[in-house]
Amino acid sequence: MYSTDTKCVQAGYNPKNGEPRVLPIYQSTTFSYDTPEEMGDLFDLKKSGFFYSRLANPTVAEMENKIAQLDGGIGAMGCSSGMAATTLTALTLCHAGDNIISLSTIYGGTYNLFATTLPKLGISCRFVDPDAPKEKIEELIDEKTKFIFCETIANPAMRILDFEKLSEVCKKHKLLLVVDNTLATPVICKPIEFGANIVIYSSTKYLDGHACALGGIIVDCGNFTYLNNDRYPDFNQPDASYHGMVYASDLGQSAFIVKARVQCMRDIGAMLSPQNAFLTQLGMETLHLRMARHSENAMAVAKMLKENKAVEWVSYAGLESHLDNHLVKKYFTNQMASGMVTFGIKGGREAAQKFQKALNLIRIVTHIADVRSCVLHPASTTHRQLSDADLAACGISDNLIRLSLGIEGTKDILDDIKNALYQSQN
């Protein structure tokens, strides 16, 4: 078994004699066969192979293979974005009348999907506070509940997931635990080791890491039993739309990821493109080096902010003073806490604007988690339509600044921020 570092570089594509050393981009929608029988066997899943890139493509498959190995899962599916990955997961598991439970501290786009879009399809979401006790979460579960959703590192709340609490609830109720591991990546945390059943990524963030390619990934941990589980009748009855297949008994361990592909991806078509799979795979080759550096730079910035007079508060789970620091110690590799830091600047909105304008190296970007450091003031950008009261309800104050620390030289980043903080107060 190779280490995570070696898997980042080498897992996945493994050329045979005389083949290209680097993963080729198979820029083809279709694949050709000598006989109709061979093509028929592919449709019946009797043989594995490619026939149409909406369902599977060799470049995408090697990227999927790499992330599945990194996470310790049994398979993965590339999607056109992180949002597509979450949507396809929900649609593979739920139909009208079903419900899901989600921690309230999740990415804004996912919150909107759960609070507004899925309810239009008859799938409701029950939000719960991350600090709610187990009993409170259990009260929300009924026979129509299909999964519990949460983020390893919540964006932008910066809360760390209490895996033990949620996985105990899920095991007791034979319920799936779905974890968005975007900000941690498998380098910092492998959710499968702490009870997750399905892991989701926006590969747009650290996996690509260069802000080049939108993408999403669903990883199936292969550690959940659907067979004869009354909560999942769709897995235990023949699927008339796919040759009468009974996913739980015909596929066993890989029931979820095959259903996600042959049913949901087939019908919805939010597939990752070969070009973006290539770029994502390339990014992942240096993921282990980058996550260490992102974490190091973020820690240095968080420590500096804590001592700076222009700063009211700092939120970074790597700091001893953060309320979730014990969870970083419990679950994260080498106590790395990833590259995002939030803080409150003295002087509210006005100081926040002055601060951003005074930055030179760090640019104003609606993005996080790439090699270049960037800054965002949610109250005047992503959340600008909200009143101050609504902002407070989302846990976003008008002086909150979100920094995503890149992999530039630490001193250059610190100097840029210190200078801008000084200017913001004068």
**Intra-chain end-to-end CA distance of the chain, in Å:** 56
Q: Specify the residue, 205 or 261, whose C-beta has the smaller distance to ligand PLP.
A: 205
Residue 175's beta-bridge partner residues?
none
SS3 of residue 241 by DSSP? coil
Residue nearest to ligand PLP according to CB distances in the complex: 82
Q: Of the candidates 59, 69, 81, 263, which one interacts with ligand PLP according to CB under 6 A?
A: 81
Q: Specify the residue, 80 or 424, whose C-beta has the smaller distance to ligand PLP.
A: 80
108 binds ligand PLP (CB under 6 A): no
The window from 57-65, 202-210, 254-262, 306-314 that contacts ligand PLP (CB under 6 A) reads: 202-210
Alpha-carbon span 415 to 418, nearest angstrom: 5
Minimum CB separation of residue 154 from ligand PLP in Å reads: 8
Amino acid at 31: F
Minimum CB separation of residue 179 from ligand PLP in Å reads: 10
Those residues with Cβ within 8 angstroms of residue 18's Cβ, 6 or more apart along the chain or in another chain: none
- CA 38 to the chain's CA centroid: 37
Amino acid at 402: R
Those residues with Cβ within 8 angstroms of residue 425's Cβ, 6 or more apart along the chain or in another chain: 309, 310, 346, 347, 351
Residue 30's beta-bridge partner residues?
52
Binding residues for ligand PLP restricted to 282-311, rule: CB under 6 A: none
Contact at 8 Å (CB) between 163 and 153?
Answer: no
The 148-177 site mask, x for binding ligand PLP (CB under 6 A), equals ---x---x----------------------
The window from 78-86, 251-259, 338-346, 410-418 that contacts ligand PLP (CB under 6 A) reads: 78-86
Minimum CB separation of residue 412 from ligand PLP in Å reads: 25
Q: What number of other Cβ atoms are within 10 A of residue 401's Cβ?
A: 25
Binding residues for ligand PLP restricted to 247-286, rule: CB under 6 A: none
82 binds ligand PLP (CB under 6 A): yes
With 0-12 / 13-18 / 19 or more C-beta atoms within 10 angstroms meaning exposed / middle / buried, residue 162 is: buried
Contact residues for ligand PLP (CB under 6 A)? Answer: 81-83, 107, 109-110, 151, 155, 180, 182-183, 202, 204-205, 214, 216
